[in-house]
Structure 1
Amino acid sequence: MKQLLLCLPLLTALTAAAQVPMPAPAQSKPILLVGGNLHVGNGTVVPDAAVAFDKGRITYAGAQSGFAQRAGYEVIDVKGQEVYPGLILPNTTLGLTEVESIRATVDEQEVGMMNPNVRSLIAYNTDSDIIPTVRTNGVLLAQITPRGGMLSGQSSIVQLDAWNWQDAAVRPDDGLHLNWPAMVLKLSSAEDEKAVERRTKERQTQLRDLEAMLTEAAAYKSLPAGHRENLRLSALSGIFDGSKTLFIHADYGKEIVEAVSFAKRLGAQKVAVVGARDAWMMLDFLKQHDIAVVLSRTHALPRRPGDDYDLPYKLPNILQQAGIRYCLDYEGSMETAGSRNLAFIAGTSAGFGLTPEQALTAVTLSPARILGIDKDYGSLETGKSATLVVSSGDLLDMRTNNITHAYIDGRAFSSENKQLYLNRKFKSKYSMP
């Protein structure tokens, strides 16, 4: 019994160390970072820079020689280090999924095909063990996105250091997510023609139902005030006045053309394509209709045997050269846990045509613009949120990514996470006497 009582404090300490860190309090005093190389996020790099922020907002970002007033600031020397905006992760189930193989920890989709009224924000779990591991690599904001069905529901943008979803919300219900029905192709030479015909009719029925709902939602929006609210139709209203973006998940070129034409015909004001692995075939179409692209699966094999082996890696540069608005996300196997690799996806793109600053913009300012939060986030400029990271090396290179300071809205949060704790634990196992 005495041995057990002696062990209890140690067990308590180990358990506490493995918990999600407590959210940081609001910034209490002005902070000044000096001497680092400032990567603004818009393509500009300022060597030997100064970044000052107070009450969560940037008061100065530029050459150190241009900022003489240091009185009252807590000065932090980051000489020789790199200062970056916090990375922004679009189209993710972070906080909705914990262990993908355990159904009880997965809350990313609702039953049914048409769920425009579903709000991912209220299911967002700020106590997820995965969130701190994602922050460790520089991802500080995310678009929490539902999955499943045809109309999955509404995504929301959150910052990744909060007590609850209310505190986390940066832009609630920023857009609706539509999974475009896949084209009907004959699966094999042995497939019965009737089976193909049946799948074709099912797809046509789905599209008719979708058009009927969107048409009804457009009519509902024009009703006078005071009518009884229809949650499904009111959730769709924002796509007709531009207050919400319609995110269409589609990969094949024909699907992209079909889906965008469909949405525009029915009056959607802001449309973005998510996935878009065939975007290189649709450059003129995307440019003509000013369609933003949230590019997925950059770390992937080519879709077709005849494609260039490096097509997924160089696709961001193809979009860049064509003048298409785009950003990068992480979608693939182990999607939620793999979100921490967002910086390295951008780094791969930098090795296949993009400049390092263009690659950085693809995970900072570009997603901020597409998600409608660029007034406050995405770049380090005077007046914007002090959401930034400092790395001793290149943030986009997994060999040198090493964050030494990190702030969300000026709050210096803990970089501790469960994986770091386990690393220390088992490294010490063989060093114990």
Structure 2
Amino acid sequence: MKLKYLIIALFISLQASAQVPAPAPLQNKPILLTGATLHVGNGTVIEKAAVAFDKGKIIYAGSASSAPTATGYEQIDVTGQHIYPGLIQPNTTLGLNEIASVRATLDQQEVGQINPNVRAMVAYNTDSDVLPTIRANGVLLLQVTPVGGTISGTSSVMHLDAWNWEDAVVKADDGMHLYWPPLLYQTQSETTPAFTEAQRNREKLLQDLDKLFKEAAAFRLGTPNKENFKLTALKGLFDGTKRLYLHADNAKDIIESVRFAQKNGVKQIVLTGGRDAWRITDFLRENNIPVILSGVHALPGLAGDDTDLAYKTPFLLQQAGILYGLSYSTSLHGVRNLPFIAGTAVAHGLTKEQALMTITVNTAKILGIDTQVGTLETGKDATLVVSAGDLLDMRTNQVTQAYIQGRRLVLTDKQKYLYQKFKAKYQAGEAK
């Protein structure tokens, strides 16, 4: 009977923790993690390592034998575990939508085709029930990206622990997202009116895009009498302060979109999606185009492709010397699987440290935040995770600690609450 009441008390306490955890307080004393295997994020692995950080910044990362003395530090023994940089998920609507069937919770797109003035970060919901489930697997930063239309708007890089969107910003308005209109292919022997109309609409859309970019370039150089929010939002593309993320998969679409951006004077171009990137690596390398690769867990794109082509595409890009990062963007809740698509790439050619780089430092370089995050080095943000096992393996990924800018996160979430809730229910039934 005592056991029954104890379980009921546990259940009541779990109900109190079912909400999204409050953001962690600022780091108030130096912390020293010792004894773990350190994965720096740049390919370096240090056994029996130590990481020290204070006021949100890393002050030491290296061998435990050379670590600063523990006087004044909160010393945490993590012997036998692994320390990794916080993982970075690019190109996601996480934080912009919550419940697919409830329109009021969906803030990922605006009406219309051309919306460069849309800013995703102002719609970012720090109270989302989904965010804690993502960081529990090691993902601590997001590139929050609008969708819909041809130019969907501007993304921003956010972290997953904050009271509001202003506190969550890591890099505001990092780039504009252009969803390239795909080439159309006639599958019948003779041209149909519907195909002709679709082709005409595509050509008009490309003409409108070209006109818009030329107007934006002229607007940047002029002194307009009144504000134009759409043209103002595009200005950063021409001086390199903002990236243009081209969303395209087909090889011909990729080449066409890149040449369009270059012709219009865009300084920094990033390919997003990139299913066929492996087919045109020479073109990408010659034009210095980095890739955010989606669809590692996907079926082959063409009937003649290898069945494991999507799995080994990261290795093909690695061999070709392309700067690329991985994105898990096919499912809102699936973002928690970001480390596991990197693990899939390990099974198809990459080393574990190369795979780790695709979801840490490579992505940080592409997004322009590598001076802050991406590796565990002195002077960078103390944004890191501690795992009991290999972070890239779903069988051993067990995050025991996580820090964002030195603030230790509470790693509870709704799914863990539900697990404990029904575990307590059945234990209570067995105790009768």
Q: TM-score range by the shorter chain?
A: over 0.9
- 2:230 corresponds to: 232
In the alignment, the residues of structure 1 paired with residue 372 and residue 333 of structure 2 have an alpha-carbon distance, to the nearest angstrom, of 27
Matched residue SS, 1:211: helix
Q: Does 1:317 align with 2:307?
A: no
Matched residue SS, 2:397: coil
Matched residue SS, 1:237: helix
- 1:408 corresponds to: 404
- 2:173 corresponds to: 173
For 1:328-347, what aligned pairs fall within 5 Å after superposition? 328-332=326-330, 335-347=331-343
In the alignment, the residues of structure 2 paired with residue 176 and residue 56 of structure 1 have an alpha-carbon distance, to the nearest angstrom, of 30
In the alignment, the residues of structure 1 paired with residue 60 and residue 319 of structure 2 have an alpha-carbon distance, to the nearest angstrom, of 32
- 1:383 corresponds to: 379
- 1:266 corresponds to: 264
Runs of 4+ residues deviating >6 angstroms: 9-12
The Cα of 1:192 is off from its aligned counterpart by: 5.5
The Cα of 1:66 is off from its aligned counterpart by: 1.4
For 1:30-69, what aligned pairs fall within 5 Å after superposition? 30-69=30-69
The Cα of 1:255 is off from its aligned counterpart by: 0.0
In the alignment, the residues of structure 2 paired with residue 388 and residue 191 of structure 1 have an alpha-carbon distance, to the nearest angstrom, of 58
The Cα of 1:13 is off from its aligned counterpart by: 5.1
The Cα of 1:25 is off from its aligned counterpart by: 0.6
The Cα of 1:101 is off from its aligned counterpart by: 3.1
In the alignment, the residues of structure 2 paired with residue 68 and residue 177 of structure 1 have an alpha-carbon distance, to the nearest angstrom, of 45
In the alignment, the residues of structure 2 paired with residue 189 and residue 233 of structure 1 have an alpha-carbon distance, to the nearest angstrom, of 41
TM-superposition CA deviations, 1:241-281 (whole Å, max 9, x none): 00000000000000000000000010000000110000011
- 1:351 corresponds to: 347
TM-superposition CA deviations, 1:358-396 (whole Å, max 9, x none): 000000000100000000100000000000000010000
- 1:81 corresponds to: 81
- 1:3 corresponds to: none
- 1:399 corresponds to: 395
Paired letter, 2:139: V
Matched residue SS, 2:94: coil
Q: Does 1:217 align with 2:216?
A: yes
In the alignment, the residues of structure 2 paired with residue 190 and residue 330 of structure 1 have an alpha-carbon distance, to the nearest angstrom, of 38
Paired letter, 2:407: R
- 1:205 corresponds to: 204
For 1:132-151, what aligned pairs fall within 5 Å after superposition? 132-151=132-151
C-alpha contact 2:10 2:424 (8 A) present in aligned 1: no
Paired letter, 2:145: T
TM-superposition CA deviations, 1:289-336 (whole Å, max 9, x none): 00010000100000011001110000001001100010000122xx11
- 1:4 corresponds to: none
Matched residue SS, 2:109: coil
In the alignment, the residues of structure 2 paired with residue 176 and residue 101 of structure 1 have an alpha-carbon distance, to the nearest angstrom, of 28
- 1:294 corresponds to: 292
Matched residue SS, 1:100: coil
Percent identity of paired positions between Structure 1 and Structure 2:
56
The Cα of 1:197 is off from its aligned counterpart by: 1.1
- 2:248 corresponds to: 250
- 1:93 corresponds to: 93
Equivalences, count: 421
In the alignment, the residues of structure 1 paired with residue 189 and residue 287 of structure 2 have an alpha-carbon distance, to the nearest angstrom, of 40
Paired letter, 1:362: T
TM-superposition CA deviations, 1:70-107 (whole Å, max 9, x none): 21111101111100000000000000111223322211
Q: What is the RMSD computed on CA atoms of the aligned residues?
A: 1.4
In the alignment, the residues of structure 1 paired with residue 389 and residue 380 of structure 2 have an alpha-carbon distance, to the nearest angstrom, of 24
Q: Does 1:282 align with 2:280?
A: yes
In the alignment, the residues of structure 2 paired with residue 101 and residue 323 of structure 1 have an alpha-carbon distance, to the nearest angstrom, of 43
In the alignment, the residues of structure 2 paired with residue 174 and residue 418 of structure 1 have an alpha-carbon distance, to the nearest angstrom, of 31
C-alpha contact 2:14 2:421 (8 A) present in aligned 1: no
TM-superposition CA deviations, 1:102-132 (whole Å, max 9, x none): 3222110000000000000010000000000
Matched residue SS, 2:143: strand
In the alignment, the residues of structure 2 paired with residue 175 and residue 18 of structure 1 have an alpha-carbon distance, to the nearest angstrom, of 36
Paired letter, 2:374: G
- 1:196 corresponds to: 195
Paired letter, 2:394: M
Paired letter, 2:240: G
Q: Does 1:425 align with 2:425?
A: no
The Cα of 1:69 is off from its aligned counterpart by: 2.0
Q: Does 1:364 align with 2:360?
A: yes
Of 296, 300, 303, the match for 2:301: 303
Matched residue SS, 1:233: helix
In the alignment, the residues of structure 1 paired with residue 33 and residue 219 of structure 2 have an alpha-carbon distance, to the nearest angstrom, of 52
Paired letter, 2:114: M
For 1:111-150, what aligned pairs fall within 5 Å after superposition? 111-150=111-150
In the alignment, the residues of structure 1 paired with residue 68 and residue 378 of structure 2 have an alpha-carbon distance, to the nearest angstrom, of 16
C-alpha contact 2:300 2:306 (8 A) present in aligned 1: yes
The Cα of 1:11 is off from its aligned counterpart by: 9.4
- 1:5 corresponds to: none
Q: Which blocks of at least 5 consecutive residues in structure 1 are unaligned? A: 1-8
Paired letter, 2:419: N
